[in-house]
C-alpha cells in the first residue's frame, strides 16, 4: 500500500487521520497544523498530487520516484529535500541489505518516501507520538527522528560486520580456500556502508549551519548534535572495517604466496633428490659398463685377436676391468655422483 500513514498533528498530538490525500490537504488548509504523510514506493500519480499541493521541486520529485540516489541534502526555497541510505544486517545470509528513504520537509508538512523495508518509519512515528513536547517542533522534529533512526539502525550492521571480520581472521590461518571470496564480498559491503555513512557528516553539518536562519529549536539542535556524534563514531568504525579487510586481503595474499613458495621448495627438493638418484644410477651403470665392454669384446672368440693366446691375457683382462671400475668410481665419487 503506497500510503502507509497519513495524519495531521497539532500541538504535538495526532489530531486527525484523513482517509485520502485530498481530505488531508483540505483539513490542513482549514485548520492548520502540519501533515506527516508516509509513502512506500508510491505511484507517480500519488507523488505528483502531493508535489502539486506542497510545491515540491520537480527534480526532487523525480529523484524520489526513481530511487537509487546518493545520500544528499538539498534546499528548494523553504522546502528541504533529504536522501538517506539506510542499512540492516541479515543474519541468515550474513550480509548487509541497504535501503533508501527520501524526506521532504516544509513549513507545514513532512513527507517520507521509502523504497525498502528499512528504515522502520512506523517505529519513528510511534516514538515521536509518545513525545508531544518534541513533536511540537513540527516537521523539523520528524527530520531529526528519521536521521536518528537511520543512524541507530547502523548499530546492528556494525556488530554484524565486526563478527564477520572476526570469523575471517580465523579462516585466514585455518587455510580455508573460500576465505578470499568472503573477504572480497565483505569488502564490497564495507565500501557500500562507507558510502551510506560518510555523507551524513556533511549533511548534519549543513543543517547545523542553518539553525539560526531557519529558527531551529534549541532542544532540536541538541538532539541533532547527538545524532552527529553517533554518526562520527559510525564513520570511524566503517573506516576501520575497510582498513581491517585491506589488511586481511594483504595477509591472505602473503599466505598464498608463502604456500606457493613452500610447494616450489618441495618440488625443488624432490627434483634435486631425483637428480641425485639419476646420478647414482648413471655412475654405477658407467662403472659396470667398462668391465662388461672388455668382457664382451674378448668373449667374441675370433681367431685373430690381440693377446688372445698370451699367457697373461686372462689376468690382464681382469686387472683392466678392475682398474677401469676403480678409476670411474673415484671420478664419480669426487664429483658427488656416488
The mean-pLDDT minimum among 9-13, 155-159, 211-215 falls in: 211-215
Residues of the chain with CATH 3.30.460.20: 3-258
- pLDDT recorded at residue 73: 95
- pLDDT recorded at residue 314: 74
CATH number, domain 272-334: 1.20.58
- pLDDT recorded at residue 301: 67
* Residue 37 and residue 111 in contact, taking contact as beta carbons nearer than 8 Å: yes
- pLDDT recorded at residue 147: 95
HEC per residue, 61-105: HHHHHHCCCCCEEEEECCEEEEEEEEEEEECCCCEEEEEEEEEEE
The mean-pLDDT minimum among 97-106, 208-217, 227-236 falls in: 208-217
Prediction pTM value: 0.75
Mean pLDDT within 234-255? 85
The mean-pLDDT minimum among 70-74, 104-108, 124-128, 186-190 falls in: 186-190
Q: What is the mean pLDDT of the chain?
A: 86
pLDDT over 90 at 81, yes or no: yes
Q: State the Cα–Cα distance between residues 222 and 55, nearest whole angstrom.
A: 30
Mean pLDDT within 12-23? 90
Is residue 56 very low, low, confident or very high in pLDDT (cuts 50, 70, 90)?
A: very high
Residues of the chain with CATH 1.20.58: 272-334
> What is the edge-to-edge ordering of all strands in the sheet holding 13-16?
13-16, 3-10, 34-40, 109-114, 95-106, 79-90, 72-76
CATH 3.40.50.2300 corresponds to the domain 3-258: no
Amino acid at each position: 500500500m503506497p500510503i502507509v500513514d497519513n495524519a495531521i498533528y497539532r500541538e504535538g498530538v495526532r489530531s486527525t487521520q484523513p482517509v485520502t490525500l485530498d481530505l488531508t490537504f483540505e483539513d490542513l488548509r482549514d485548520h492548520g497544523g502540519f501533515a506527516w504523510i508516509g509513502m512506500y514506493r508510491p505511484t507517480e500519480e500519488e507523488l505528483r498530487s502531493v508535489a502539486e499541493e506542497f510545491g515540491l521541486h520537480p527534480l526532487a520529485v523525480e529523484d524520489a520516484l526513481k530511487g537509487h540516489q546518493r545520500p544528499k541534502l538539498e534546499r528548494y526555497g523553504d522546502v528541504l529535500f533529504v536522501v538517506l541510505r539506510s542499512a540492516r544486517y541479515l543474519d541468515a545470509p550474513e550480509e548487509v541489505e541497504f535501503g533508501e528513504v527520501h524526506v521532504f520537509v516544509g513549513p507545514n508538512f513532512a513527507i517520507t518516501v521509502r523504497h525498502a523495508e528499512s528504515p522502520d518509519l512506523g517505529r519513528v512515528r510511534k516514538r515521536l507520538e509518545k513525545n508531544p513536547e518534541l513533536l511540537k517542533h513540527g516537521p523539523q522534529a520528524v527530520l531529526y527522528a528519521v536521521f536518528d533512526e537511520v543512524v541507530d539502525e547502523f548499530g546492528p550492521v556494525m556488530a554484524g560486520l565486526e563478527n564477520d571480520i572476526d570469523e575471517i581472521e580465523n579462516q585466514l590461518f585455518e587455510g580455508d580456500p573460500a576465505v578470499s571470496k568472503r573477504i572480497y564480498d565483505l569488502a564490497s559491503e564495507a565500501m557500500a556502508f562507507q558510502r551510506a555513512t560518510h555523507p551524513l557528516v556533511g549533511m548534519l553539518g549543513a543543517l547545523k549551519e542553518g539553525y539560526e536562519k531557519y529558527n531551529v529549536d534549541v532542544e532540536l539542535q541538541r538532539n541533532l548534535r547527538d545524532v552527529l556524534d553517533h554518526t562520527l563514531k559510525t564513520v570511524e568504525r566503517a573506516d576501520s572495517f575497510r582498513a581491517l579487510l585491506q589488511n586481511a586481503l594483504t595477509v591472505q595474499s602473503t599466505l598464498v604466496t608463502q604456500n606457493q613458495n613452500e610447494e616450489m621448495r618441495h618440488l625443488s627438493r624432490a627434483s634435486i633428490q631425483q637428480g641425485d638418484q639419476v646420478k647414482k644410477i648413471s655412475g654405477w651403470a658407467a662403472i659396470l659398463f667398462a668391465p662388461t665392454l672388455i668382457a664382451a669384446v674378448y668373449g667374441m672368440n675370433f681367431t685373430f685377436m690381440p693377446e688372445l693366446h698370451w699367457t697373461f691375457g686372462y689376468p690382464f683382462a681382469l686387472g683392466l676391468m678392475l682398474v677401469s671400475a676403480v678409476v670411474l668410481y673415484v671420478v664419480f665419487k669426487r664429483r658427488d655422483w656416488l
